[in-house]
Amino acid sequence: MTYEYERLGGGLVVPCVRLDLSRSNGPRSAQDFKHRIFEIVDREGALLFRSAGIDGPVRYAEFLATIDFRHHSYVGGTAPRTDLGRGVYTATDLPADTTVMIHQEMAYLDAIPDYISFYCHEPPPEGQKTHLIGDMRRLSAELPDRLRTKYRGKHARLRRTLPPEGSESVIARRDKSWQEVLGTGDRQEAAAIAAREGWDLTWTAGDYLVFVQEPARFFRPHPVYGELWCTQALHYQAAARRLVAERDGRTADARRLAAAMAAAPDTVDAMVMEDGSRIPPEDIAAWFELCLAAEVAYALGRGEVIILDNMLMAHGRSTFTGPRTVYTALGDRAGQPPPRCSTRTSSSRTAHVLPG
Ligand SMILES: [Fe+2]
């Protein structure tokens, strides 16, 4: 399998291969090169499949099966997503007016997927560059010594207050219910999952759930590059969401966040240090500026796919106009122990439209 390098901008270069992935039984060439595909992703951080010709999520699932993509469950995940089955999800159901800042997938947990893949089913009109990417090797190197020293060896826990299914906030603001996040509506089953994962669950009045997830590392080892910054602790903060709302011009959201932070900061979802202390706003603002400077926007064409190493390359999505449909799948490296969540299929809104 031969590949070239494509310059996405901002000095970020990714390997790019042109393979016809459109045939129904999966391309033999992709199967032949499956080990090579992941070897390239592990070393380069990404592999872009241009002109791949994938014509729908079924074919995307078949392509992933062809290369033995080991699916990682989204149980415990925070993003609103629709689960199509066979490990394929909508990339995000967040509205088009909201930027998703570059981040490493699920890095608010200690068990994260090694890979994340995106398939563009319907690109937005006029060639809008809506996919964001950032090189975490560069970001880790640019991290101020003050932050590196302060957070090395530390852990943070994601604390959320989740509404029950059918509540106003789930319907109106597309919040995730606790049933959706845990993949069950049964409190006993939820408690068993939580015990296995190291999560704390406390139900409060009105069937709301205070959900504290396991301590997650700030730095983690990558098999090729060694220790890298890998956390959403400075992202998953009301102050960070407010900065994003201001960036997007969503003034009502920015005001709502400011009011919630002033009135009852403990009820606003956030990552909190393991000892219970809060991450200071100046650290959140510094990280936001670093991410802004590192992000590079690019476009995936119709039928094209990218596979990212989830530690080496952060991903995000810009705001956009018009229709846009992108699907995603999360994966684990071969030879790794199966993820702790692997027995369950999903925590997302379930459509299960894919056969098999
Ligand atoms: Fe993501």
pLDDT tens digits for range 95-113 = 999 999 999 999 999 999 9
Q: Would you tell me how many other CB atoms lie within 10 Å of the CB of residue 205?
A: 5
327, 46 in Cβ contact below 8 A?
A: no
CA–centroid distance, 105 to ligand 1, in Å, is: 5
CA–centroid distance, 314 to ligand 1, in Å, is: 8
CA–centroid distance, 205 to ligand 1, in Å, is: 31
CA–centroid distance, 91 to ligand 1, in Å, is: 7
CA distance 257 to 39: 43
Within 8 A by CB and 6+ apart from 61, the residues are: 84, 85, 86, 87, 88, 329, 354, 356
CA–centroid distance, 329 to ligand 1, in Å, is: 10
CA–centroid distance, 296 to ligand 1, in Å, is: 15
CA–centroid distance, 101 to ligand 1, in Å, is: 9
Question: How large a percentage of the chain has pLDDT more than 90?
Answer: 73
* Predicted model pTM: 0.89
pLDDT of 22: 83
Identify the DSSP state of 245. Answer: H
pLDDT band at residue 343 under the 50/70/90 scheme: very low
- Name the burial class of residue 10, with classes exposed (0-12), middle (13-18) and buried (19+) by CB atoms within 10 angstroms of its CB: middle
Residue 261 host element (H or E): helix 251-263
Q: What are phi and psi of 97, to 5 degrees?
A: -90, 5
Could you tell me the domains of the chain? 4-135+297-350 (3.60.130.10), 145-290 (3.60.130.10)
CA–centroid distance, 203 to ligand 1, in Å, is: 28
DSSP letter for each residue of 13-44: EEEEEE----STT--HHHHHTHHHHHHHHHHH
pLDDT higher than threshold 70 for residue 149: yes
